[in-house]
Amino acid sequence: MDLFPILQELHQPGGKILLVVLDGVGGLPLEPGGPTELEAAQTPNLDRLAAESALGLLTPVHPGLAPGSGPGHLALFGYDPFRYVVGRGALSALGLGADFREGDVALRGNFATLDAEGKVVDRRAGRPSTEENQRVIAKLKEAIPRIEDVEIHFYTESEHRFLVILRGEGLGDGVTDTDPQKAGLPPLEARPLDEASRKTAHILNLLAERIRAVLRDEPRLNGALFRRASQKPRFPSFQEVYSLRAAAVASYPMYKGLAALVGMEVLPVEGEGDAHEGKLKALRENWDRYEFFYLHFKKTDAKGEDGDFLGKVREIERFDAFLPELLALKPEVLALTGDHSTPAALKAHSWHPVPLLLKAPYLRRDEAGRFTEAEALKGSLGHLRGVELMPLLLAHAGRLLKYGA
Amino acid sequence: MDLFPILQELHQPGGKILLVVLDGVGGLPLEPGGPTELEAAQTPNLDRLAAESALGLLTPVHPGLAPGSGPGHLALFGYDPFRYVVGRGALSALGLGADFREGDVALRGNFATLDAEGKVVDRRAGRPSTEENQRVIAKLKEAIPRIEDVEIHFYTESEHRFLVILRGEGLGDGVTDTDPQKAGLPPLEARPLDEASRKTAHILNLLAERIRAVLRDEPRLNGALFRRASQKPRFPSFQEVYSLRAAAVASYPMYKGLAALVGMEVLPVEGEGDAHEGKLKALRENWDRYEFFYLHFKKTDAKGEDGDFLGKVREIERFDAFLPELLALKPEVLALTGDHSTPAALKAHSWHPVPLLLKAPYLRRDEAGRFTEAEALKGSLGHLRGVELMPLLLAHAGRLLKYGA
């Protein structure tokens, strides 16, 4: 069900909305019956806020699906992640903060080790260090700035992984992967899947040859396998679908990139890491210029991925200490949630729902006393899906007319 | 997801279902932390019923959407309101209880004030009284009973608003609005959007001319603007999709009209307003003739729309006093809910979920002790969508076979 045409039609002006995403904030106990990261954290400011807010449980994408940052965030932005798909190559480009333009084709690359006959010996080139990757990428940048009329841009990702962006006229992203998926076979030819992607396949095959030539003296990183070609998708913007002037306040490229995909203005943020002060400054200086702010914090997820339970607890407490500054901005509607769970116990994204907190006009009293998974269950908002959040925020901001008579 | 083919296939005979809709029953506290209308009401009978029922929270249409009566009721009847859409003109015709037949085209009209050159001076003709509207409508009825072979039927709605129904052969409803949306411009020509609506546009343009001629001596109500042409939709009936002989017991035209749209028999009800006694009589006299009854009460919504918190509380208490009479009918399945919330605090329909009460065989024990928003959250039915209610009622009535093997 695409709600966008309905939301467009129901638009009316209203209050300011601040959506705060604590990346991967949902957790799990380390031992059965123990506290989650949110439960273990000392959060006096959040507790006070929860008491005067409404809570609910939010399943970001679908029960059982542990979403990546792309689907998780698109859902929170109201974009059905099964309909608004960002290709893997494009997501990598966003995550690296690459200069990735409309019409460009991004591909994920693996360095591989090939033998004298050109057969793959190791699909991951012995898992080189990221530094070695950078050294080889520098060679390729120097040697292969373009092929025919197509610019070639290389980016190190990590270990054996890199990204390549093709820029030129008439490039489609319908090409097959060149990774043969097992050793002992030569890399595959890239084949076009549609007429519009003939040139892409042609350039890609030339590129694979050129890379072999340039890297012929490398002992391990002497070949490349490509997969997941994708163009930058064109999504309707927040302005189009919600009539919102929207800004993103985030420190990491992936989140800036996702926000830019839905037409948010990405505000510059000073400082390193989660940069609490820099984010606050960006919010304050731009507060009057936008009607919607997306504010992202990364470290809760990063600590979860590290399996660092106490580190994640501390990041939650750091956010708690920062919260009064956010409240002082007095958004009409404040929502706080996560794009998915990242339990330290799993060291990975998980499918568990996340708590949602809503401070806004027109709330019902509810029994949830803290911003935790278990308390969220008692909240008056019930159990929602990620894509349902934006209509709810618009409603509480007074931005939606009645639907039907 | 259209469940109708599945429900048709799974049909088996079963018990009698009574669906009671307290219009707009969901509420909000007047002050943060205060009681909602349902919480403030003294409802000994409802409380007793709740103790032996299962409760749940029901989002009538979609989180964030404040549904009108049309989408709210269609959802409760199991008709996905995004799929089964009733045009605005058609809804007005239902709401006015107009003689509105298949093939007719209904349009909403505004009286407007035009200047000597035919430009709109006031799109609402200075917001006339409903009495003045009636006086002018009487003139038009008299002067314009038909145009060419098309009958023209006028109805007063309120203030500057009226309804016109075109009746004749070959009328489509794909015509553009004639409201220019701002003063200083002449009314627009109606244009056909499809071949089937050519005649409608032609008649509508003649009608606008005729109205100007008839009203040329009126100082304010001397023109008309038309919008939202729509035909009466054709929906599958309760009989077809649920194999239910269904009857509606309602006092207000909109609800009778919506029930008729899904093929319910609309029973006559004696008395004024919510007519508790008349409704009870209609139920008693027809109890053996139908398998499903839809019973509607309007005043909870009306008091909410008026912003009359205590008035809404009293209407809830009036229903409570009436409840034992309903229980004495002994339906196998009794469901009690609202089509949306109408908090007195908002004086309007809202997007907040409503409580659902289910008295039926095969219930689980639950902790919800009262028919209130907060208690419903604790109910064993969980959090449902409006369209999910009918399958649940059919199941509890023993009317659905197992799905799949």
Hey, is the C-beta of B376 within 8 angstroms of any chain A C-beta?
no
User: Would you call A405 and B68 a contact, using CB atoms and an 8 Å cutoff?
Assistant: yes
The pLDDT of residue B32? 86
pTM of the model as a whole: 0.91
Closest chain A CA to residue B57: A382
Indicate the residue of B62, B63, B346 with minimum beta-carbon distance to A362.
B346
Distance CA(A403)–CA(A9), nearest Å, equals 9
Hey, is the C-beta of A55 within 8 angstroms of any chain B C-beta?
no
Hey, is the C-beta of B157 within 8 angstroms of any chain A C-beta?
no
Q: How many CA atoms lie within 13 A of B235 on its CB side?
A: 26
Question: pLDDT digit string (tens) for B238-251?
Answer: 999 999 999 999 99
The pLDDT of residue A289? 98
Percent of chain A with pLDDT over 70: 100
DSSP track, B275-311: -HHHHHHHHHHHGGG-SEEEEEE-HHHHHHHTT-HHH
The pLDDT of residue A2? 85
In sequence order, the 6+-apart residues with CB closer than 8 A to the CB of B263 are: B235, B236, B237, B238, B239, B240, B246
Question: pLDDT digit string (tens) for A250-296?
Answer: 999 899 999 999 999 999 999 988 999 999 999 999 999 999 999 99
What is the edge-to-edge ordering of all strands in the sheet holding A292-297?
A: A265-266, A246-249, A292-297, A17-22, A333-337, A354-359, A54-59, A383-385
B15-27 burial, b for 16+ CB within 10 Å, e for fewer? bbbbbbbbbbbbb
Secondary structure element (H or E) that encloses residue B58, with its range: strand B54-59
The pLDDT of residue A194? 96
ipTM over 0.95: no
Indicate the residue of B63, B69, B343 with minimum beta-carbon distance to A384.
B63
In sequence order, the 6+-apart residues with CB closer than 8 A to the CB of A163 are: A89, A92, A93, A96, A98, A106, A107, A108, A109, A154, A155, A157
Secondary structure element (H or E) that encloses residue A339, with its range: none
User: Would you call A403 and B86 a contact, using CB atoms and an 8 Å cutoff?
Assistant: no
pLDDT over 80 at A1, yes or no: no
Q: Determine phi and psi for A135, rounding to 5 degrees.
A: -60, -45
- The minimum CA-CA distance between A149 and chain B, rounded to whole Å, is 46
**Please, where are the H alpha helices in A108-252?**
130-143, 198-214, 238-242
The pLDDT of residue A271? 93
Closest chain A CA to residue B84: A404
Indicate the residue of A364, A393, A403 with minimum beta-carbon distance to B28.
A364
CA neighbor of A352 nearest in space, from A115, A10, A73, A29: A29
User: Would you call B95 and A388 a contact, using CB atoms and an 8 Å cutoff?
Assistant: no
Distance CA(A393)–CA(A391), nearest Å, equals 5
User: Which DSSP state fits A195?
Assistant: G
- The minimum CA-CA distance between A336 and chain B, rounded to whole Å, is 17
User: Would you call B351 and A395 a contact, using CB atoms and an 8 Å cutoff?
Assistant: yes
Hey, is the C-beta of B253 within 8 angstroms of any chain A C-beta?
no
Question: pLDDT digit string (tens) for B336-395?
Answer: 999 999 999 999 999 999 999 999 999 999 999 999 999 999 999 999 999 999 999 999
Closest chain A CA to residue B344: A362
User: Would you call B351 and A400 a contact, using CB atoms and an 8 Å cutoff?
Assistant: yes
Contacts of B66 in chain A (CB under 8 A): 395, 400-403
The span from the first CA to the last CA of chain B, in angstroms, equals 21
* Confidence class for position B405, pLDDT limits 50, 70, 90: confident
Distance CA(B382)–CA(B366), nearest Å, equals 10
Distance CA(A172)–CA(B297), nearest Å, equals 59
CB pairs under 8 A between A and B: 97
User: Would you call B64 and A388 a contact, using CB atoms and an 8 Å cutoff?
Assistant: yes
The pLDDT of residue A277? 96
Distance CA(B313)–CA(A23), nearest Å, equals 43
Choose from B23, B38, B377, B387 for mutation: most chain A CBs within 10 A: B377
pLDDT over 90 at A299, yes or no: yes
pLDDT over 80 at B1, yes or no: no
Hey, is the C-beta of A72 within 8 angstroms of any chain B C-beta?
no
- Measured N-to-C along each axis, helices B69-76 and B253-261 cross at an angle, to the nearest 10 degrees, of 50
SS3 A402: coil
Q: Determine phi and psi for B128, rounding to 5 degrees.
A: -65, 165
Other beta carbons less than 10 A from residue B256's beta carbon: 22
Hey, is the C-beta of B109 within 8 angstroms of any chain A C-beta?
no
What is the 3-state composition of chain A as percent helix, strand, coil, each rounded to the nearest 5? Answer: 35, 20, 45
**Rounded mean pLDDT of B184-189?**
95
Superfamily of domain A4-85+235-396, CATH level 4: Alkaline Phosphatase, subunit A (3.40.720.10)
The answer to whether the CB of A316 falls within 8 A of the CB of A37 is yes
pLDDT over 80 at A136, yes or no: yes
User: Would you call A362 and B374 a contact, using CB atoms and an 8 Å cutoff?
Assistant: no
| Token reading at B170 | 């070959």
* Confidence class for position B183, pLDDT limits 50, 70, 90: very high
Q: Which residue is it, tokens 């278990």?
A: A374
Indicate the residue of B33, B67, B350 with minimum beta-carbon distance to A404.
B67
Indicate the residue of B57, B64, B70 with minimum beta-carbon distance to A391.
B64
Domain ranges for chain B: 4-85+236-396, 91-231
> At residue B105, what is the residue type?
V
Return the higher-pLDDT residue of A96 and A336.
A336
The pLDDT of residue B322? 97
pLDDT over 80 at A227, yes or no: yes
Q: Which residue is it, tokens 């409580």?
A: B355
Hey, is the C-beta of B385 within 8 angstroms of any chain A C-beta?
no
> In chain A, how long is the greatest CA-to-CA distance?
74
The answer to whether the CB of B233 falls within 8 A of the CB of B87 is yes
CA neighbor of A360 nearest in space, from B311, B350, B370, B301: B350
Hey, is the C-beta of B278 within 8 angstroms of any chain A C-beta?
no
A113-122 burial, b for 16+ CB within 10 Å, e for fewer? bbeeeeebbb
Closest chain B CA to residue A395: B64
Distance CA(B221)–CA(B203), nearest Å, equals 21
The answer to whether the CB of B221 falls within 8 A of the CB of B267 is no
Indicate the residue of A362, A365, A390 with minimum beta-carbon distance to B374.
A365
Hey, is the C-beta of B352 within 8 angstroms of any chain A C-beta?
yes
Distance of CA A283 to the CA centre of its chain: 21
| Token reading at A229 | 């070609």
CA angle A177, A180, A183 (to 5 degrees): 150
User: Would you call A405 and B29 a contact, using CB atoms and an 8 Å cutoff?
Assistant: no
Q: How many CA atoms lie within 13 A of B84 on its CB side?
A: 24
The answer to whether the CB of B64 falls within 8 A of the CB of A393 is yes
User: Would you call B64 and A384 a contact, using CB atoms and an 8 Å cutoff?
Assistant: no
pLDDT over 90 at B2, yes or no: no
**Rounded mean pLDDT of B113-137?**
95
Distance CA(A202)–CA(A322), nearest Å, equals 53
Contacts of A366 in chain B (CB under 8 A): 374, 377
pLDDT over 80 at A306, yes or no: yes
- The minimum CA-CA distance between A370 and chain B, rounded to whole Å, is 16
Q: Distances in Å between the alpha carbon of A223 and those of A78, A109, A126, B106, B230? A: 41, 10, 12, 70, 64
Closest chain A CA to residue B90: A405
Contacts of B68 in chain A (CB under 8 A): 402-405
Indicate the residue of B64, B81, B91 with minimum beta-carbon distance to A392.
B64
The pLDDT of residue A305? 96
Distance CA(A168)–CA(A230), nearest Å, equals 14
Torsion sign across C-alpha atoms A82, A85, A88, A93? negative
- The minimum CA-CA distance between B124 and chain A, rounded to whole Å, is 19
The answer to whether the CB of A85 falls within 8 A of the CB of A68 is no
A169 class by beta-carbon count within 10 Å (0-12 exposed, 13-18 middle, 19+ buried): exposed
Indicate the residue of A3, A364, A405 with minimum beta-carbon distance to B91.
A405
Hey, is the C-beta of A3 within 8 angstroms of any chain B C-beta?
yes
CA neighbor of B360 nearest in space, from B335, B325, B328: B335
Choose from A11, A364, A375, A378 for mutation: most chain B CBs within 10 A: A364
Hey, is the C-beta of B7 within 8 angstroms of any chain A C-beta?
no
Return the higher-pLDDT residue of A91 and A308.
A308
Distance CA(B152)–CA(B362), nearest Å, equals 54
Indicate the residue of A1, A52, A365 with minimum beta-carbon distance to B82.
A1
**Rounded mean pLDDT of A221-247?**
96
Distance CA(A323)–CA(A329), nearest Å, equals 10
* Confidence class for position A405, pLDDT limits 50, 70, 90: confident
The span from the first CA to the last CA of chain A, in angstroms, equals 20
Distance CA(B278)–CA(B258), nearest Å, equals 20
In sequence order, the 6+-apart residues with CB closer than 8 A to the CB of B294 are: B19, B21, B77, B246, B247, B248, B249, B250, B259, B264
Choose from B83, B91, B177, B351 for mutation: most chain A CBs within 10 A: B351
Hey, is the C-beta of B349 within 8 angstroms of any chain A C-beta?
yes
User: Would you call A388 and B65 a contact, using CB atoms and an 8 Å cutoff?
Assistant: no
Decide if domain B4-85+236-396 falls under CATH 3.40.720.10: yes
